[in-house]
Amino acid sequence: MIARLTRSFLKVPWSAQLGFVIIALNVIAFVFAPVLAPYPETQIIGRGWEPGFWAMDCSDEAVSQRGPCWSEFNTGRVEGKAWLGTDHLGRDLLTRLLYGARNTISIALLITGLSFFIGMTFGFLAATMRGWVDQLISRIVDIMMAYPTLIFALIILSVAGTSTLVLVLVIAILDSTRVFRLSRAVAMDIVVTEYVESARLRGEGLLWLMRREILPNTLPPLIAEFGLRFCFVFLFLSALSFLGLGLQPPMADWGSMVKENSGVITFGVYNALIPAFAIAFITIGVNLVVDWFLRKAAGLRDEY
């Protein structure tokens, strides 16, 4: 099993391998955050904005006094230093980053899942029923898409407040318009095939048609789209958090971490860039895998 997985992993181009490794790292951070984190989530371990490993003193003198220069950075001991420095309140940045992975990734996944549920249901519905149902949903989506997403979200958040539930619903609904477009377009091709026709003539219900005939045949493009939408949602959520309107403290979250620590960038303290790079890292990883998947799916279609 493991051998087979390794072999198929080695066959993948290097860019996709890189993507898989990045995703795996994030999954590990997600699952094992409490184990990996050197300190508890909200513990204050030092002064604000202490530098991390880049400020290690590796001169001969320091090494002879204290041993190898990395021993300055130990894990688990409060008197030690923090590998990635501390945040504005003096909490360990690495710990916050690991817990932040949990919050940000799980909420982004939840939003993407919800958005796909809404978008696919309506998309398949529009494709199967055609007629006025299709017209009505499509026009509503046209109007929603004619409006900039970020501004839309900001206006709704200003009225409804910035609770996590509102945030999830708003982004999911706004994002489901794109899923709707794609799933409707893909399903349109499937609806006219003979096997859907024969299922219809057999007297199968609408739900059965959508779930058993259309869904399995539209999966590959939708899976790739899931990756892209996840990236988009992740960036969108981070942007909102960065603006102070996304996930609210004390929840650790990458976008808010950038915001909290960004004030001192002009003074040469770059701790805020670490969570920002973490955001870029995961979106690049997912993008690389999606890229490979799309190319593979296209290639398969050529062969047949």
Name which of 85, 111, 115, 106 is nearest 26 in CA terms: 106
- The least CB distance from residue 199 to other proteins, in Å, is 29
Of the pair 213, 225, the CB lying nearest other proteins is at 225
Residue 62 makes CB contacts below 8 A (sequence gap 6+) with 69
Exactly one of 199, 245, 251, 297 binds other proteins (CB under 8 A); that residue is 245
Exactly one of 49, 242, 292, 293 binds other proteins (CB under 8 A); that residue is 242
154 binds other proteins (CB under 8 A): yes
Helix (H, G, I), strand (E, B) or coil at 86: strand
Of the pair 53, 152, the CB lying nearest other proteins is at 152
188 binds other proteins (CB under 8 A): no
Q: Give the span between the Cα atoms of 133 and 125, in whole angstroms.
A: 8
- The least CB distance from residue 22 to other proteins, in Å, is 11
Long-range contact pairs involving 122-125 (C-beta distance under 8 Å, separation at least 24): 122/176, 122/180, 122/184, 123/179, 123/180, 123/181, 123/182, 123/183, 123/184, 123/187, 124/183, 124/184, 124/187, 124/210, 124/214, 124/215, 125/206, 125/210
- The least CB distance from residue 98 to other proteins, in Å, is 19
User: Which parts of 250-279 interact with other proteins (CB under 8 A)?
Assistant: 255, 258, 262, 265-268, 270, 272-273, 276-277, 279
Exactly one of 1, 3, 5, 151 binds other proteins (CB under 8 A); that residue is 151
Of the pair 69, 245, the CB lying nearest other proteins is at 245
Angle between helices 14-36 and 93-129 in degrees, nearest 10: 120
Which residues sit opposite 86 in a β-bridge? Answer: 92
User: Which parts of 215-234 interact with other proteins (CB under 8 A)?
Assistant: 231
Of the pair 218, 262, the CB lying nearest other proteins is at 262
Helix (H, G, I), strand (E, B) or coil at 74: coil
Of the pair 72, 291, the CB lying nearest other proteins is at 291
158 binds other proteins (CB under 8 A): yes
**Interface segment toward other proteins; rule CB under 8 A; list 26-34, 88-96, 109-117, 150-158:** 150-158
Q: Give the span between the Cα atoms of 178 and 176, in whole angstroms.
A: 5
**Cβ-count burial of 260 within 10 angstroms (0-12 exposed, 13-18 middle, 19+ buried)?**
buried
Q: Residue 30 carries which DSSP code?
A: H
- The least CB distance from residue 266 to other proteins, in Å, is 5
- The least CB distance from residue 264 to other proteins, in Å, is 10
Give the start-end residues of each E strand in the chain: none
The residues of the shown chain that bind other proteins, judged by CB under 8 A, are: 142-143, 146-148, 150-151, 154-155, 157-161, 231, 235, 238-239, 242-245, 255, 258, 262, 265-268, 270, 272-273, 276-277, 279-280, 283-284, 287-288, 291
